[in-house]
Amino acid sequence: MLLLFEASSSLKVNFHKSMLFGINIHDSWLTEVDSIVRCKMGCVPYLYLGLPIGGDPRKLHFWHPLLDRIKSRLSGWKNRNLSLGGRFVLLKYVLSSIPVYFLSFFKSPTCIISSIESIFNSFFLWGVEKIRKISWINWESICSKKENGGLG
């Protein structure tokens, strides 16, 4: 079948970049096909374009790569002199775009959304350091529309 694909499309399959996955197939059959095709064998779940494929989005451990990606992005901004406006711009245009890609494919549990909002809230109000200060602004009023007195 792959040879027919190559002949009809004049494209060649790169077996060094390809992986072989089997669903409801015995491992012995996969190893035989692997020896013929000479590509890597993969296991489910795996990452494809940054998304876990074959995992269960209802489980909390499925969402740990997203939370880790947000926290790793925050760890790069250890500048304590970042103003409230600077933190707002980074939050609105950089941090908020990270979960959009993930959430456009999978429906998340409500606890994941609340933990993402908690990370955003603590970054906006206190910065990267873990020192808790008095929050002068309610998070709901920050997230409300600009017409209603929020920051959008």
27 three-state secondary structure: helix
> Is residue 133 predicted with pLDDT exceeding 80?
no
What's the total number of domains in the chain? 2
46 three-state secondary structure: strand
Global confidence as pTM: 0.66
Q: Is residue 48 part of a domain?
A: no
Amino acid letter, residue 14:
N
Q: Which residues form the domain of 111?
A: 55-148
Q: Is residue 105 part of a domain?
A: yes
141 three-state secondary structure: helix
Does residue 98 share a domain with residue 36? no
Does residue 31 share a domain with residue 59? no
> Is residue 79 predicted with pLDDT exceeding 60?
no
Does residue 38 share a domain with residue 84? no
Do residues 1 and 7 touch, judged by C-beta distance below 8 A?
Answer: no
Does residue 134 share a domain with residue 63? yes
Give the helix/strand (H/E) hosting 78.
Answer: none
The residues near 78 (Cβ < 8 Å, ≥ 6 apart) are 128, 129
Higher pLDDT pick, 81 / 1 = 1
In angstroms, rounded to a whole number, what is the distance separating the alpha carbons of residues 126 and 135? Answer: 8
Taking only the tens place, the pLDDT of each residue in 26-55 is 878 888 888 888 888 887 788 888 888 888
Q: Is residue 70 part of a domain?
A: yes
Q: Is residue 49 part of a domain?
A: no
Higher pLDDT pick, 139 / 24 = 24
